[in-house]
Chain A
């Protein structure tokens, strides 16, 4: 441990709750507020607390609202409610926001929750659904329908600069599927082979079907409270060592303006978050036992491995293909199947899996896992990150 940070280890995740991970649209006729409410009730039960104990909210995703949740669940009073701005990068950072509220005294029991229900609008085509503005005019005529097209542009540059190959991308996809097979709540339970990967339809080069994350409906909630109070609760406290969100200006409108400097164009935009996160936690990448990377695309997992310092820039592809990312490797990642094969709920699945691993109750349990990294969506800013320890 080095340095000091006022948030380090002062709070803990004490409860986790989740709905099933439904395939896109299959959660109907359940409503969004019902899914989110069910996740919160399950999380509070898991913590051994009462709904009336909730006095704060910190979340990224939309589709629900604090006042509506208070009325729906009968939460008497809230003293803190805040959401992370931006376009997808915030779920991991919401836990840091909750920790800030608790350490500052603004709230005592904060719910971090995310929910997604894709009925009608598919998130994969979200870019095409944006209202026309003077800003969108500069990218909307190019046929960039959704994130899968935008991130393919970054992947092409990474391949050009560093020799990253589709074999490297496949290694990430196959690892995710292998982990999902043994995870009961994961969406995908059919084995995936290298041959399957290369036979899959190409969506936007270099990304084929299996380089894209899943489309799910569902909700996940986490309960955050002070480390002191956590000691008296049902589960072993999972401490928040560090949590932050934001990023460096050069990635501000990254995916839409494509104006990042050459040094960080082919990246996840998470390097600034990584530096701050390690400084807050007083540790380095060598101290991370497992990582749950925001895996909306395989190529972005490779770039996050680099940005978080697990290998040199440009070596993420060979690192992924070396076996290091497997459950029995040196850096097990996305041990529940991630968003590629487990479930996609704005990165909340990664928080759930990190907590399960550190409690020692994960389906693909990594022996001796004590410190976990969780990242939030490479995207336009803010992006976010979280380090948890048992």
Chain B
């Protein structure tokens, strides 16, 4: 059996939002990956913040993305750093570039993908998973195996 990237531990995760980040999580709850783009100069930014760092505008457009991603960086966590993590080993924290958001990045996880096949630069597909507190969060798996691993969280 190939070694598969598991879901990370999320027992300690608790969703907090503010007026700038809430639209991201509301869209996520509906299964849409929406990221903010400056309403004045068009610069994407993640996480969502009160001002555009390029032009200081507070105008925002929330853009729903296709869910395509490119793996930018990753690590394979092989040791439980805290009690309760053991059942999640190995899991794969990852930085994923979103090509239809000018390369804005998400800090996320690769899941349901053979670890031996994970390579920087690989094409990824969005899948939705739930954390322990019920928050729907974006995860990614290898684009070419997406049809095999799609399932309800």
Contact = CB atoms under 8 A, between A and B. Distances in A.
Interface of A: 124-125, 128, 132-146, 148-149, 152-157, 160, 201-207, 249, 256-259, 265
Contacts of A265: 72-73
Interface of B: 8-10, 12-18, 20-21, 25, 46-47, 53, 72-79, 81-82, 85, 88, 91, 93-95, 104-109, 120-121, 131, 135, 137
A128 B80 CA distance: 13
B73 A132 contact: no
A205 B120 contact: no
Interface centre among B17, B82, B121 (most CB of A within 10 A): B82
Contact of A133 (B16, B46, B53, B76): B16
Contacts of A256: 107
A145 B8 CA distance: 10
Nearest to A202: B78
A207 B78 CA distance: 10
Given A142-B8, A203-B78, A258-B72, 11 more contacts: A132-B14, A134-B16, A149-B93, A153-B74, A157-B72, A201-B79, A203-B79, A256-B107, A257-B46, A258-B95, A265-B72
Contacts of A143: 8-10, 77, 85, 88, 91, 93, 109
Given A153-B74, A201-B79, A141 B8 contact: yes
A222 to B, nearest CB: 33
B16 A132 contact: yes
Contacts of B12: 128, 140
Contacts of A142: 8, 93-94, 107-109
- Binding site of A, secondary structure by majority: helix, strand, loop or mixed? helix
A206 B118 CA distance: 14
Contacts, number: 122
A207 B93 CA distance: 14
Contacts of A206: 75
A261 to B, nearest CB: 10
Nearest to A143: B8
Contacts of B105: 257-259
B93 A156 contact: no
Contacts of A257: 46-47, 105, 107
Contact of B75 (A125, A135, A205): A205
A137 B73 contact: no
5 contacts: A134-B18, A134-B21, A143-B9, A145-B82, A146-B81
Contacts of B16: 132-134, 136-137
Given A142-B107, A153-B93, A125 B82 contact: yes
A201 B79 CA distance: 8
A132 B16 CA distance: 6
Contacts of A144: 93, 107
A331 to B, nearest CB: 28
A146 B131 CA distance: 19
Contacts of A258: 72-73, 95, 105, 107
A154 B73 contact: yes
Contacts of B106: 138
B82 A128 contact: yes
A204 B73 contact: no
A204 B13 contact: no
A123 B90 CA distance: 22
Contacts of B81: 124-125, 128, 145-146, 148-149, 203
Contacts of B13: 132, 137, 140-141
A152 B121 CA distance: 17
Nearest to A154: B73
Contact of A156 (B10, B17, B75): B75
A1 B47 CA distance: 44
B103 to A, nearest CB: 9
A153 B105 CA distance: 13
B75 A152 contact: yes
B88 to A, nearest CB: 7
A315 to B, nearest CB: 20
A132 B75 contact: no
B141 to A, nearest CB: 15
